[in-house]
């Protein structure tokens, strides 16, 4: 456990916005978590566990303790038809995906170059290029530092949905993700359903080739947070009723629609934003990225207010034109913890 003397949150989230915390501490094991929660000076303070801060927007200074998850380690159980990987929640997601490919355990290659730590993956149920996290998840280990209780949730118990999970609900308040289990089948099959991946030869392609292709696509489409602060896709792709989708399709034949759950369709949020002419739109130092409309960036010394105002403008424009309500994918944090765009 290491308490940091500098309580600026700017280097601890990829938006790079000015914000501060009451305290910042690194946790390297479960015992560290317990000690942090029991620290007399901060016993009553709210706690926020952060990995790489790649999906956060601090709307205000956080009046509590930011706990940097540094629980590391990867171990493997070799079964007849699959590998079971046990991975510390503080491991870098992309580094872990690269490690799995390097060690001959494919299955996560479509999820390459997604920023963040392993422990953030189940919260968002991350997904890309035809693969969702839940499809590879065996379990999630959680720990409650306030009580000392530990639990292992099966994939079903995690209640995964589209960019959603039980970890976003009040029932998980006070619990910390410590380890994630992955089941990777040895009978590997490439997933080449989306975008440029469909151009690859399914009979010849290798996991490494898919990994490299995904990295190249993401680097070409998305701004590097180390160069231009951002938190990736700011909005979810909205899921609407099929009747509304059919109405929109009749008016906008080129609208990108994808089947979702029964009776529902998913729309590409980036397309909706682009059709509203919002690429490159600015609010103070915040800007809708000129190449990828889903991304809001810290273009020039933005404040959280700049980002929030711009996000609200995007939501308003899209709803006015299409009647579709965008929801933010980025987690918004105020003085006490998680909040919503509507509450700001």
- Would you list the DSSP string of 29-72? SHHHHHHHHH-GGGTTS-EEEESS-TTEEE-S-EEEEEEEE---
Residues 65 and 46: beta-carbon distance below 8 Å: yes
Q: Which residues contact 94 (CB under 8 A, 6 or more apart)?
A: 112, 113, 114, 115
Is residue 242 flagged as an active site residue? no
Task: Report how far residue 216's alpha carbon sits from residue 163's, in angstroms, rounded to the nearest whole number.
Answer: 23
Q: Give kind and range of the element (H or E) at residue 150.
A: strand 149-154
**Is 163 labeled as catalytic in the residue annotation?**
yes
The C-alpha R_g of the chain, in whole angstroms, comes to 20
Mapped onto helix, strand or coil, the DSSP state of residue 180 is strand
Structure tokens at 103: 């060690």
Which residue in 233, 287, 304, 331 is the catalytic one?
A: 233
Q: Which helix H or strand E contains 144, and what residues bound it?
A: strand 137-144
User: Dihedral of CA 54/218/319/311: which sign?
Assistant: positive
**Number of C-beta neighbours around residue 75 at 10 A:** 10
Active site residue 52: no
Q: Which two tokens stand for residue 23?
A: 């305290």
Catalytic position from the list 136, 163, 183, 218: 163
Residue from 52, 91, 109, 329 carrying the catalytic annotation? 329
Cα torsion angle, 132, 138, 139, 140, sign: negative
User: Which residue do the tokens 């700049």 mark?
Assistant: 306
- SS3 assignment, position 107: coil
* DSSP states of 283-339: ETTEEE-SS-TTEEEE-SS--HHHHHHHHHHHHHHHHHHH-----B-SEEE-SSSEE
Unique residue bearing structure tokens 């990777």: 184
Catalytic (active-site) positions: 163, 233, 329
């Amino acid at each position: 456990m290491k308490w940091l003397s500098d309580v600026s949150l700017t280097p601890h989230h990829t938006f790079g916005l000015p914000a501060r915390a009451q305290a910042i501490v690194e946790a390297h094991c479960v015992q560290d978590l317990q000690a942090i929660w029991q620290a007399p000076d901060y016993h009553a303070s709210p706690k926020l566990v952060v990995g790489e801060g790649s999906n956060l927007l601090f709307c205000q200074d956080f009046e509590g303790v930011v706990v940097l998850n540094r629980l590391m380690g990867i171990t493997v159980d070799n079964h007849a038809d699959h590998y079971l990987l046990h991975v510390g929640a503080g491991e870098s997601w992309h580094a872990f995906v690269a490690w799995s490919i390097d060690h001959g355990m494919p299955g996560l290659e479509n999820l390459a170059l997604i920023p963040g730590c392993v422990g953030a993956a189940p919260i968002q149920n991350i997904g890309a290029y035809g693969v969702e996290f839940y499809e590879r998840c065996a379990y999630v280990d959680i720990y409650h530092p306030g009580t000392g209780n530990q639990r292992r949730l099966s994939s079903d118990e995690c209640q995964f949905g589209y960019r959603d999970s039980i970890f976003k609900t009040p029932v998980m308040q006070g619990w910390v993700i410590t380890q994630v289990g992955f089941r990777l089948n040895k009978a590997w099959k490439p997933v080449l359903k989306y975008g440029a991946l469909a151009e690859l030869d399914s009979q010849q392609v290798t996991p490494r080739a898919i990994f490299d292709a995904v990295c190249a696509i993401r680097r070409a489409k998305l701004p590097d947070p180390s160069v231009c602060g951002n938190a990736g896709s700011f909005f979810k792709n909205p899921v609407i009723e099929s009747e509304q989708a059919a109405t929109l399709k009749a008016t906008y034949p080129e609208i990108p629609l994808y089947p979702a759950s029964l009776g529902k369709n998913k729309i590409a949020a980036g397309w909706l934003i682009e059709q509203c002419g919002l690429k490159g739109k600015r609010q103070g130092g915040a800007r809708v990225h000129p190449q990828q409309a889903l991304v809001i960036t810290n273009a020039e010394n933005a404040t959280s207010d700049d980002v929030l105002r711009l996000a609200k403008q995007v939501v308003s424009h899209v709803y006015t034109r299409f009647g579709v309500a965008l929801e933010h994918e980025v987690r918004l944090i105020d003085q006490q913890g998680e909040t919503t765009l509507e509450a700001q």
